[in-house]
């Protein structure tokens, strides 16, 4: 059976028992090869759970990254090559996007 490539958007949430910890969220785009959209969605969930991590930061506090949600899975249109469009996000509120995206708002991570 032939397979295709899909882009899956995963959102992770960080947490810590430290009292002053401020949660951070991470959006990750992964490339998934599968025979169908349904298979790609399930594979994305498995990959997301498999990539959950826990570690000690520089202050010795435990930081845990947990898969919060698989936001979307979409077929990659065309063959993979330089300049291939992997995923397109559509939104209505640019100001909300600027506030949500730390790199656009000038905030350091």
Give 26's strand partners.
12
The per-residue pLDDT for 100 is 80
pLDDT band for 105, please (50, 70, 90 cuts): confident
Give per-residue pLDDT as tens, 11-28.
999 999 999 999 999 999
- At residue 90, does pLDDT exceed 90? no
> First vs last Cα of the chain: how many Å apart?
43
- Nearest in space to 13 (alpha carbons), one of 66, 71, 51, 56: 66
**Distance in angstroms (rounded) separating the CA atoms of residues 101 and 30:** 19
Residue 29 corresponds to which tokens in the numbers above?
A: 């785009």
pLDDT in tens, 60-83: 999 999 999 999 999 998 788 898
* Closest alpha carbon to 77 in 69, 87, 68: 87
Residue ranges of the domains in the chain?
4-105
What value, to the nearest 5°, has the Cα angle with vertex 27 and ends 25 and 29? 160
Instruction: Tell me how far CA of residue 74 lies from CA of 43, 52, 86, in angstroms.
Output: 13, 22, 9
């Amino acid at each position: 059976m032939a397979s295709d490539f899909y882009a899956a958007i995963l959102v992770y949430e960080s947490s810590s028992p430290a009292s002053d910890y401020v949660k951070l969220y991470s959006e990750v785009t992964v490339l998934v090869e599968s025979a169908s959209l349904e298979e790609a969605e399930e594979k994305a969930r498995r990959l997301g759970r498999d990539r959950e991590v826990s570690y000690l930061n520089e202050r010795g506090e435990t930081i845990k990254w947990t898969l919060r949600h698989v936001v979307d899975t979409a077929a990659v249109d065309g063959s993979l090559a330089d300049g291939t469009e992997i995923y397109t996000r559509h939104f209505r509120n640019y100001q909300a996007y600027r506030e949500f995206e730390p790199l656009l708002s000038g905030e350091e991570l």
